[in-house]
Amino acid sequence: MKGNEMKENTAKENITREGNAAQDYVLEITGLDYYIDDVQILKNINLKIMHGEFVGIIGPNGAGKTTLLKCINGINTPGGLVKIKNRDIGKLNEKQVAREVALMSQNTAITFPFPSIDVVLTGRYPYLGFARGESMEDYNVARKYMRYTDTLQFENREITKVSGGERQRILFAKLLTQETDLVLLDEPASNLDIAHVEQIFTYCRELCCAGKTVIAAMHDLKTASKYCPRLILLKDGEIIADGATGEVLTSENLSKAYGVNALVYRNRITGLLDVYIPGFEMRKEKKRIHIIGGGGSASGVIRQLFEMGFDISIGVLTHGDSDSACAEVFGIKRVIDKPFSGISDEAFEENVKYIKESELTILCNMPFGILNLRNLDAAAHASNLAIIEDDSPETRDFTGGEALEIYNELKRKAVVTTFARLHEVIQ
């Protein structure tokens, strides 16, 4: 199916295909500028979107996401050229545009108690002649989409008397009733709980599979990365990145757009891109802290210490360990060794060097086996040692008692705490 095949395309492929026939693009924007009074809201937007794509528009508040969507469906009249299916929308009348592109606005406030079916039927307006009533056919179309969004049972209920999630689904049915090839959504998930968010985006994905094109302005980057194969990043009315989600959603791009220190990483459990914005405390003296961890026990500690603004190092970790991925994302000093081969002398020495440099060494709530036993030996070099003990050490000893013996020895001159109370020890 054409739609499916197109959906797999990344923006890169779009560029290589640029020489192809223009009708491949459902939307082409060239040199678009938009002003409100004398303030330039959008600057030189150039965009090509193919049939069946699901494109997310991301960017900080005030970047121009909503304004751009309204330029595409003709509510705003921008400078430059907006072509839908190779037709300049500036030259089409309102109803012609509404047969090509539909928009679901953010937080539509409907205060008049119309029955839901009447609201959905307004989606048929572009197909009706002046002062013509809806035909049975129009009712069938409206009911079909209400059934699809599971709202047919509210057909005769007033739109003011349904819940937020139900209302959003009714408005989505209205959007579909317009039967356009291009569908625009402005923050469709705002005010929805997680289940309804998933539902709305699942609908969108299905639309794309059916060959329609969806462009959605979104503020939740995680949802955007999960559903949209292509993202467009706007900042101050300009496109600063456009391409496959993995290429757009990078720490550099996000830091540039949002002006915060954003960390993008792949969530190990879901395999999806995730974004983390650390809170940041500035400290005058940067206390040196070393962490001994592994197997995921240190990730939370790294984040916490990073946010507190300490100069941190970690070791010895192995390649592929989730803690070493975490250390990499946060960009801290780390000692990394080959996996499953025991700690080498070089790694051990480096680890001890870091420990000796540090004012505090933290031993995480980690499992002990033959291969990381030397990390415990290294801990003995610490001037100040804090041990995080969330689970009893007996359950974490896989060496048959050897590790436990060293651990108990270390405990004698260390401060023992839990992860939840770690901050007390550090202060």
User: Smaller CB distance to another protein: residue 162 or 426?
Assistant: 162
Rg (CA), the chain: 28
User: Smaller CB distance to another protein: residue 122 or 418?
Assistant: 122
Q: Tell me the window of 42-50, 69-77, 224-232, 392-400 that interacts with another protein (CB under 8 A).
A: 69-77
Q: Considering the complex, what minimum distance in angstroms separates the CB of residue 254 from another protein?
A: 30
**Tokens linked to 11:** 């923006």
Token pair 């975490």 in the structure block, residue: 326
Q: Tell me the window of 126-134, 282-290, 305-313, 316-324 that interacts with another protein (CB under 8 A).
A: 126-134
Quick check: 119 binds another protein (CB under 8 A)? Answer: yes
Contact 270, 259 (CB under 8 A): no
Pairing of strands 182-186, 101-104: parallel
Quick check: 140 binds another protein (CB under 8 A)? Answer: no
**Residue from the set 9, 10, 44, 105 that interacts with another protein by CB under 8 A:** 105
H or E segment and range at residue 312: strand 311-318
Q: Considering the complex, what minimum distance in angstroms separates the CB of residue 105 from another protein?
A: 5
Q: Which of residues 151-190 bind another protein (CB under 8 A)?
A: 178
Ramachandran region, residue 366 (left: φ > 0; alpha: ψ -120 to 50; beta: rest)? beta
User: Smaller CB distance to another protein: residue 69 or 249?
Assistant: 69
Quick check: 129 binds another protein (CB under 8 A)? Answer: no
Query: End-to-end CA distance of the chain, in Å?
Result: 61
Q: Tell me the window of 130-138, 232-240, 338-346, 361-369 that interacts with another protein (CB under 8 A).
A: 130-138
User: Smaller CB distance to another protein: residue 130 or 340?
Assistant: 130
Q: Considering the complex, what minimum distance in angstroms separates the CB of residue 112 from another protein?
A: 4
Quick check: 243 binds another protein (CB under 8 A)? Answer: no
Quick check: 109 binds another protein (CB under 8 A)? Answer: yes
Neighbours of 277 (CB within 10 A): 13
Quick check: 70 binds another protein (CB under 8 A)? Answer: yes
User: What's the CA gap between 84 and 88, in Å, rounded?
Assistant: 7
Contact 150, 74 (CB under 8 A): no
Q: What is the Cα 323 distance to its own chain's centre?
A: 22
Q: Considering the complex, what minimum distance in angstroms separates the CB of residue 78 from another protein?
A: 15
Quick check: 295 binds another protein (CB under 8 A)? Answer: no
Q: What share of the chain is helix, strand, coil (3-state, %, to 5)?
A: 40, 25, 35
**How does 81-97 read in b/e, with b if 16+ C-beta sit within 10 Å?**
ebbbbeeebeeeeeeeb
Quick check: 98 binds another protein (CB under 8 A)? Answer: yes
Q: Please count the CA atoms within 13 angstroms of the CA of 31 that sit on its side-chain side.
A: 3
Beta bridge partners of 411: none
Residues that bind another protein (CB under 8 A): 70, 73-75, 93-99, 102-105, 108-114, 118-119, 122-123, 125-126, 128, 130-131, 133, 178
